[in-house]
Chain A
Amino acid sequence: ELKVEQNPLFLSMQEGKNYTIYCNYSTTSDRLYWYRQDPGKSLESLFVLLSNGAVKQEGRLMASLDTKARLSTLHITAAVHDLSATYFCAVELGSSASKIIFGSGTRLSIRP
């Protein structure tokens, strides 16, 4: 059974600081996704990581994937208040119908 663990679950940080969210998963997978969810809203796709060593960046967010370590990171650089949200990683469990299993989410609060 695929398990996806995120840490930390809650993160309060000051604007301008850097931090990293970690996502570990228990079985082999070559596809990992990061999503953002604002309160009361649906999920917005941030990154799709498709291979070992993949690195993607969008603004102050950068995601990476190490399939050998079964680890993905989401790094936040010089945080701003607008990045406050809950961030989920999700790992694809491939079969005849692929499906993704989500981590518990990291609730990020960025204060001035």
Chain B
Amino acid sequence: SQTIHQWPATLVQPVGSPLSLECTVEGTSNPNLYWYRQAAGRGLQLLFYSVGIGQISSEVPQNLSASRPQDRQFILSSKKLLLSDSGFYLCAWDGQGRSGYTFGSGTRLTVV
């Protein structure tokens, strides 16, 4: 069966520090992968999506970047965090159209 792993679960980082969040998928190949952000009490905003290794599409201009170094690995990064980067970050894969999107457990990032 397919599973999606995301870590860390919680992160507190100072302003100006770097960020690296990792997401991996098991049990499938060539998945479409997505990063979403959810601000407190709000909906989900699509940040990046990837259809394959090295292929990244950005949805909104921001302080973040994404990379896909391996087929089942998707990384969200920042060189210098801003206070506004705080939020709940969710990785997802699209289930190849069969069962809808599956989300990881999320990373709660607080920038202080």
Contact = CB atoms under 8 A, between A and B. Distances in A.
Contacts, number: 49
Contacts of A101: 46
Given A42-B104, A42-B105, A99 B99 contact: no
A45 B59 CA distance: 23
Interface of B: 32, 34, 36, 42-46, 49-51, 57, 59, 90, 94, 97, 99-106, 108
B99 to A, nearest CB: 6
Contacts of B101: 33, 45, 90, 100
Interface of A: 33, 40-43, 45, 48, 88, 90, 96-105
B94 A98 contact: yes
A97 B43 contact: no
B49 A99 contact: yes
Contacts of A90: 44, 101
Contacts of A103: 43
A97 B55 CA distance: 11
